[in-house]
Amino acid sequence: MQSGKILRQRYKIIHSLGSGGFGDTYLAEDLDLPGKPKCVVKHLSPKIPDPGVLTIAQRLFEREAETLYKLVQDSDQIPKLFAHFQEGTEFYLVQEYIEGQDISQELTPGKKLSESYTIALLKGILSALETAHQNNIIHRDIKPQNLMRRKSDNKIVLIDFGAVKEISVLTTANQQG
């Protein structure tokens, strides 16, 4: 998606943030709000024009949107969901932009972490995970790149819920299988 493209006459793409299992992620600005705050637009466009693939993609997209909406009610360590929509065969999630850096930027290969840093980091991660687990959600993709340290308050924010699994779904499947 090109810089400058406007989605839904509201979200203006600034630049790409990267690609992942869910699709492409972009930094954008919300043209409808004062100050045009930054936001994140996740774009899923199934590459195979198969109706079955489209149905699966739509289900995954809806699941991530529902999960995010449910979780942000309980935690400031999960990015807020501002909008989700579909245009043709393409799906979009609009989320809060977390200004900061991912934890991988704080880690140096071969360098030992101090005990105090490690304890503080784990407490931050566990606090974010606690909200997910209280809502019967398993993240399934915990890695330094999905853990952001928010610049404004230094809190750990858990991002990228594209691979989540609801525990109730797993439990039901295990009982039936």
Name the helix (H) or strand (E) containing 36.
Answer: none
H helices present in 32-114, as ranges: 51-72
Which of 32, 74, 141, 160 is labelled catalytic?
Answer: 141
Name the helix (H) or strand (E) containing 157.
Answer: strand 156-158
Q: How far apart are CA 175 and CA 177, in angstroms?
A: 6
Q: DSSP string of 99-156?
A: -EEEGGGG--TTPPPPHHHHHHHHHHHHHHHHHHHHTTEE-----GGGEEEETTT--E
Q: Which two tokens stand for residue 163?
A: 């691979």
Handedness of CA 24, 98, 33, 60 (dihedral sign): positive
Phi first, then psi, for residue 119 (nearest 5°) are: -65, -45
Residue 160 among the catalytic residues: no
Q: Which residues are catalytic?
A: 141
